[in-house]
Structure 1
Amino acid sequence: MNSDAVGTGQPKENAFPPVAELNYEAARDELVEIVKILEHGQMPLDESLRFWERGEALARRCEEHLDGARNRVEAILRSGDADAPAEGAPDSE
Structure 2
Amino acid sequence: MHFIFRHKNPKTGEIEEKHTKKPTANIDSYFTGRKTHLYTLVVNPGQTFEMLIDNGLVNKGSLLTDVSPPVNPPKEIEDPNDKKPADWDNREK
**Alignment TM-score, normalising by the size of structure 1:** 0.28
Q: Which has the larger radius of gyration?
A: 2
- Greater length-normalized contact order (CA 8 Å, ≥ 6 residues apart): 1
**Alignment TM-score, normalising by the size of structure 2:** 0.28
1 or 2, which has the higher helix percentage? 1
1 or 2, which has the higher strand percentage? 2
